[in-house]
Chain A
Amino acid sequence: MNWALALPEIVLALCGMAILLLGVLRRGDTTALCGWAVLAAFVLAAALVATGADGHAYHDMFIVDAFARFAKLLILTGAALACLLAMDWNRREGIARFEFPVLALFATVGMMLMVSASSFMSLYLGLELQSLSLYVMAAFARDDVRSSEAGLKYFVLGALASGLLLYGISLVYGFSGGLDFAGVAQAVASPELASPGFIVGVMFVVVGLAFKISAVPFHMWAPDVYQGAPTPVTAFFGTAPKVAAMALLLRVLGVPFVHVPWIPVVMLMSIGSMLLGSFGAIAQTNIKRLMAYSSIGHVGYALIGLAAGTVDGVRGVLIYLVTYVFMNIGSFAVIAAMRRRGRAVENIVDLAGLGRTDPGLALALAVFMFSMAGIPPLAGFFGKLYVFLAAVQRGQWTLAVIGVLTSVIGAVYYLRVIKVMYFDAPGEPFEARATATSVLVFGCALFTALFFLFPSAIVASADAAARSLF
C-alpha cells in the first residue's frame, strides 16, 4: 500500500494536532503564534502537494491525479488567505482564540480528502470533517446572536444534506454493488444499466453536494449564514469549501455517474442559480448578503462548465474557481477593512464616498466588482469566457445566452456599489487597517487586474487537471 500518497494530508493533520497542543499547553496568549504556525503548515502542505506523485492508495479509496493536485493547491491558497484575514479581524472583534486557525486547518484536511476521494466512504468522511469544522467556525463569535444563529442554521441544514447524501450513497451501493468510484462506473457501464433506483440514489447524492455549493434550489442557508458568520469565516466559506465541493461534484458526476443522464439536472440548477443570484442581489442593502447572492450566481456560472461535461467545460470550471477565489478573498478583505469607531459596518451605504476618503481601497473594490461583473480584461471575464465557450462548443446555447443575460443584470448591483463609492457624499473615514489586510486587498486586486498577462500558465495546468479526470 502506497501510504505516502496522502503525505500532504497526514503532515497537515499532524501539524494541526501539534499546534493544538501548543495552544493548549503554552501559557499566555498563543493566538498569533498558532495563526502563523497554521499558515506555515499550509505552505508546507502545498509544497508536498506540488511535489507529490500520482496514483491510488488505501484500498482504492484515495486518488492523487493532476485534478486533485490543482484543486488542493487552490484550496490551500484560499484557506491560507482567509486565515491571514482572520488574524487581525478576530483580534479587533475580541474573538481571537487559537482554536480558530486549528479548526480552519482541520476543515482544510477534510477538503483535501474530499477532492482526493475515490470511494463514497472517503468522500463522506472528508465532507463531514470539513462541515463539522465549518459549523463551529460559523458560530465562532458565540456572544453575537447572529453568528450563533448562522452556526445553528448551517448545522441543521447541513445535517439534513448529509442525511440525503448518505441515503443516496446507500441506494447507489445497493443498486450497483460498489462503493468505490471505479467499481460503480464498471457496474453501470451504459445508460441502460442505470436502473430507476440507481438514478434516485444519484439524485440524492447530487442534492447533498448541491447543498454544499449552495446551488439553487438548495441555497436558502447561504444569505443568512454569510451575513451572520464573522467576515473572515464568510470569506473562507466562499472560497475553499466551494472549490472542494465543486471539485467533488466534478469527480462524482464524471467518474462513477458518467453514464447517468445528469446533464439536464445540472443545467436546471445552473439556470436557477444564475437567475436567483442576479435578481436576489438587487434589493440587498447589506454587503455580506449581497456577496452571498453573488456567490450563488457564480456557482451557477461554474455549473455551466459542469453541464457541458467535456474537458473544456471542466477546464472552464477550474479557471472560474481560480479567479473566483482571488476576487472573493479580496472583496472580503475590503469588507473586513470597513470599520468605524471600533465596530464593523456592513451596509452598502457605509461605503459612500470611499473614492475620496480612501482612493486605494475604493479602486481595489472597484476592480473586484468589475471583475465579478465580468468586464474585460479583468480575471472574472476569463472565468466566464471559458465556461461560456465550453457551453457553446457543446451547442448548449440556452445556458450561454442566459449566462450572458444574467451577467448583464448582475452588473447592475456591482455597479451600484461602485456608484455609491465614487458619486455619493463621503461619510466618516474608516479606521486604519492592518498591514495584512492591505496586503490581501492589493495583492488580490493586482492578481485580478493583471490576470490577462499570465493566463497561459493557469489555463495549461487547468487543462492538464481536466484531462486527468477523463
Chain B
Amino acid sequence: MIAVIAFYVFAAILIGSAVMVVTSRNPVHSVLFLILGFFNAAGLFLLAGAEFLALILVIVYVGAVAVLFLFVVMMLDIDFTELREGFQKYAPVGLAVGALLFGELLFALGAWDFAPAAGGLRQTPMPDYGTNTAMLGHVIYTDYVLLFQVSGLVLLVAMIGAIVLTLRPRVDSRRQNIEAQISRTPAQTLSMVNAPLGAGVRAAEYHRREPAARVGEEDV
C-alpha cells in the first residue's frame, strides 16, 4: 500500500516537474524543476528495486549534469524571449505533426500484440547473488565488455572534440617552469637599483629588468 502511494506521489511530481521544465518562463527555474524531476525518477527506480540506478541518477544527473546545465544557462547570453517568439511561430506546425505522430502511434500500438516468442526471450533468469550493483558489475565486465569499452571510446572522442573545437593557445598566459626557478642564481634575480633620495623605486623598474631576470616565467 505504501509502495503504491509512493509510486503515485513520485510519478505525479515527476510529470508535473517535467511540464514545468518546458513551460516555466525563467530558464533557471526550468533547470531546478529538472533536478526535482531527476530526484523523483530516482525514487521510482528505488521502488522498482534498482537501487544502483537510483543512486547513479542522483550522483551523475543531479550532481553533474544539472549543475552543468545551470552553468550553461547562467553563463551563455541567450535571449529566451527571442527563442520563445520562434516557438510561438512554429508551435501550430509542431503541434500538428506531434498530434499526427501520436495518433499514428496510438493506432499502431493500440493492438498491442507481442510476438509469441517475445515473453520467453525477455525472461532472463535472475542470478541470486548479492545486490544489483554486484550483478550489474558482473555483466558489464563479461557479457557486455565490448559495449562498455566502446562507450569509453565515445567519451574519449567527445573529450577530443571539445578540446579541438574550443582550445586556443593563449598568447598572454604564463606557465611555471619549476626547474628553471629552482636553478636560478641571485645574480639573475636580484638587481641593484640606485634609488634617488626621496623618490623611491618605482614599480616600473621591475618591468624594465633584463629578460634573464625573469627566468622561470615562460611565455607559452
Is the A/B pair a real complex? yes
Complex Cα spacing A371 to B167, Å:
43
| B93, chain A: closest CB distance, angstroms | 16
Query: How far apart sit A178 and B113, CA to CA, in the bound complex (Å)?
Result: 15
Interface residues of A in 82-121 (CB under 8 A from B): 97, 99, 102-103, 106, 109-110, 113, 121
Residues in chain A near residue B153, CB distance under 8 A: 13, 106, 109-110, 129
The verdict on A103 contacting B114 (CB below 8 Å), with A6-B146, A199-B108 known, is no
Contact B154 A125 (CB under 8 A): yes
9 A-B residue pairs with CB within 8 Å: A103-B160, A106-B153, A113-B150, A125-B147, A133-B161, A151-B165, A175-B118, A176-B115, A186-B117
A188 & B115 in contact (Cβ 8 Å cutoff): yes
> Per-residue CB proximity of A365-396 to B under 8 Å, as 1/0?
00000000000000000000000000000000
Closest to B164 in A: A99
Other than A106-B153, A195-B112, give 19 A-B pairs with Cβ distance below 8 A: A97-B164, A99-B163, A113-B150, A121-B144, A129-B154, A132-B158, A132-B161, A136-B161, A136-B164, A175-B114, A186-B117, A187-B115, A187-B116, A194-B115, A195-B111, A196-B107, A196-B108, A197-B108, A197-B109
Stretch of A55-63, A303-311, A322-330, A429-437 with 4 or more beta carbons under 8 angstroms from chain B: A55-63
Q: Mark B141-182, 1 if CB is under 8 A from A, else 0.
A: 001111100110110111011011100000000000000000
* Chain A residues with a Cβ under 8 A of chain B: 6, 13, 17, 20, 58-59, 61-62, 97, 99, 102-103, 106, 109-110, 113, 121-122, 125-126, 128-129, 132-133, 135-136, 139-140, 142, 151, 174-178, 183, 186-189, 193-200
| Interchain CA distance A20-B164 in the complex, whole Å | 12
A20 touches B160 (CB 8 A): yes
CB neighbours (8 Å) of B165 from chain A are 136, 139, 142, 151
Question: In the bound complex, do residue A177 and residue B117 qualify as a contact, i.e. CB atoms below 8 Å apart?
Answer: yes
Distance of B176 from chain A, by nearest CB (Å) = 17
Which of the candidate stretches B9-17, B44-52, B84-92, B119-127 sits at the interface with the other chain?
A: B119-127
The answer, among B111, B121, B147, for a CB contact under 8 Å with A183, is B121
- Please give me the residue from chain B that is nearest to A125 by CB atom: B150
**Nearest CB in chain B: distance from A414 CB, A:** 36
Point out residues on B near A: beta carbons under 8 Å: 104-105, 107-109, 111-122, 143-147, 150-151, 153-154, 156-158, 160-161, 163-165
B160 A102 Cβ-Cβ under 8 A: yes
CA distance A194 to B118 in the complex (A): 11
CB neighbours of A136 from chain B (8 A):
157, 160-161, 164-165
Report B138 CB to chain A, min CB distance, Å.
13
- What DSSP secondary structure best describes chain B's contact surface? helix
Q: In chain A, what residue has the closest Cβ to B123? A: A177
The answer to whether B157 and A129 have CB atoms under 8 Å apart is yes
The listed residue (A61, A102, A106) touching B146 by CB distance below 8 A is A61
Separation of A142 and B122 alpha carbons in the complex (Å)? 47
Q: A58-B146, A195-B113, A196-B111 are in contact. Are A132 and B157 (CB under 8 A)?
A: yes
**Known contacts A113-B150, A122-B147, A129-B157: A178-B121 contact under CB 8 Å:** yes
Cα A140 to Cα B156 in complex, Å, equals 17
Which residues of the other chain, B, contact A177 by a CB distance below 8 angstroms? 114-115, 117-122
Across-interface contacts of A151 in B (CB, < 8 A): 165
Q: How far is the CB of A270 from chain B (nearest CB, A)?
A: 23
Contact status of A103 and B115, CB under 8 A, knowing A62-B146, A128-B154, A129-B153: no
Name which residue of chain B comes closest to A121, CB basis: B147
- 6 closest A-B pairs (Cβ-Cβ)? A177-B118, A177-B121, A136-B161, A58-B146, A59-B143, A187-B117
Contact (Cβ within 8 A) A197 B112: yes
Q: Is there an interface contact between B115 and A193, defined as CB atoms closer than 8 Å?
A: yes
Cα–Cα distance between A106 and B161 once the two chains are bound (Å): 11
CB distance from B65 to the nearest CB of A (A): 16
Please pick, from B115, B119, B154, B160, the residue contacting A99 in the complex, using a CB distance under 8 A. Answer: B160
Contact in complex: B164, A200 (CB < 8 Å) = no
Residue in B116, B118, B154, B163 whose Cβ sees the most chain A Cβ within 10 Å: B118
Q: Report the Cα distance A202→B60, complex, angstroms.
A: 32
Q: What's the least CB distance linking A266 to chain B, in Å?
A: 20
When chains A and B are docked, how far (Å) is the Cα of A404 from the Cα of B134? 60
Residues of chain B within 8 A (CB-CB) of A198 are 115
Given A122-B150, A129-B150: A103 and B157 interface contact (C-beta under 8 Å): yes
